[in-house]
Structure 1
Amino acid sequence: MSEPKLHFDPDRPEGKPAKKGKSTTKSSKERRSTRQIPMHRHRLQNGLTIFFYVLFTLFFIVIVMNVGRMNTVIDLANKKEVKANDIAAEIQQSQQIGKIVSFEGNKWLQTFFTHSKNQAEQDKRVKQLNAHLSGSLEISGFDISGKDTVRSVKQVQEIKQETVSHLKEITVYKTTYDVQFVEQNHDRNVQVVLYGIYQDDKMKLIQIPEYLNANKDTGESHKAPYTSEDLEVKGEVISGAEKTKMTQFVEKFLALYCRNDSNLNLVASVQGIDGGTFQTATLTNSVRKNGKVVVQGTYTFYFQESSAYTSAFTLEMRENKGSYFVDKMND
């Protein structure tokens, strides 16, 4: 008969038998618990890592978009600034050209209203005046000064200047001057309108001067009846018997206008030149536009019979009891 085998456990006190199965179960529970804790920590860390990566990516995208947007805004701002600078430079250049046109127009009027008996001086005067006329304009067409006429300028002063039209991208300046002069020992005072452009480094007139009464209120700026295409008003052309009747009315009106007759207010709401005498008139354009009748042309008048002046005119009229009434002239 064999002897039973004894198992010695150094950690177990003597006299206490070993408990079967307990140590094995305990160690297995400890092993399970030690595996589960690290597993939960790894999942949390992975989730946080992914979250921060996504958050960082979103921040990066937002920053890139903002930088791109800022660059776009800066580019637009720079473009607008350049455009604004260009506009400012263009306005400044236009103002400078306007001053040149005004100054040279002033000098031109001083020459125009100066006339002596000396033939050499007369020839020099004609040459200087023609140098500032554009196209087919000639000083002989609107300045009828006798050889014995003596005329001198006392003062030429600009009243106002405005831009009225564009002809083939060329700015037209309408400048109104007050002119005081002496003719045949008589003091005269008129207002003259010049339509000038800046071409070939100097002022050039594109239309003969317009004469206004010296007492006309020019403080208020009126829109000129000229289009950007042409100096003639466009509309329904008037012809035949109506044009004949209109021509007769215009001639009677200009006769009253030149001497500023007391009956002028019966046919017009304008004031005359005063002291002048009407000679002839030529109608170049007569149309009906926006319920109004517009007549354009030229007329000749004089203060002294030996020296006549030719002026352009634009009348805006309305029909009145079988005739006409002038509402505006050269406005």
Structure 2
Amino acid sequence: RSVLLTRDEEYTLARAIQLGAHVHKIKSEYESTHSKPLSKRQWATLAGLSSPNELRKVVSEYRSAKQELVASNMGLVHAVVKNYSRKAYYRGITIDELVQEGSLGLIRAAELFDPAKGLRFSTYATIWIKGVLSNSRVDEMVLVPQRERQIWNKIREVSKDVDDEDGRLSTDMIAKKLGLDKSSVEQNIQRMSSVNNMLSLDYQYASTTRSGETDGSKPFEALMADKSGSDADLAERAQFKADLVAGLVRNLNEREIQLIRLMYGMHDGHEYSVKDSAKIMGINRETARLLHHACLKKLREASNMESLQEYLLTVA
């Protein structure tokens, strides 16, 4: 359950977030201008901090403050989502997916909120939550025929038990269980996956979203699948996803992003094999395999996967 904050508490948290955002902006601008990573000592010096230890403290307080501000206001997301629930139902979108989409707006509000303007955070955040939901696919999508929704619901139900030998989702087995031809299953998955695109990649977190990630104890698949937990858990998962998507946007091209999202459950919650991902994308299996290896190499070598870097900074 969300915990209401006083105006003074909001002010304190917002100031910690503003300081952290300023420190991150310094880092981003330096690395953009010089095309090389900034060391922790250089970063601290440029930010006017006495040492890497003080930098670590600022980053840690920034993460904690943003997490608390978001978690304490998740009730706003639930309240706003109620106005979209009927429309979402007819488009095959779940309430959980709407909540996570709205959470992105709440996170953005926490990053940009300035208490000096005189607004309470709840007023400012509600504007952002409504804005994200209004500009998401919830309003843009065409009406999905009832038959397609019914097939999709059946696919989601049987897919829990139809992993192939690699632990990936097998469209062959889904089709066999449902008595449908494989092409119909693939077409439905492709259509409904685009409908359920909870993490819109055109939502540009690339330059502003920062830490708030999980402690790394759960695999990403578990975070995607976990529907339980407190508002703090929901906020943390939403922030983690936003950071991860931002990392993909910064480092991969559109086709590479599509493949990674399919193979690692970021498209509709299911993990697809290289073979099935290739078919959905309209490329051959070998091309998909080589593309997958190229993606992983890019991400391993990327110097700007900031969520992971910042987490390591705060625990090192």
Q: For this structure pair, what is the TM-score category when the shorter chain's length is used for normalisation?
A: under 0.3
TM-score under structure 1 length normalisation:
0.24
Higher relative contact order (CA 8 A, sep 6+): 2
More helix per residue:
2
More strand per residue:
1
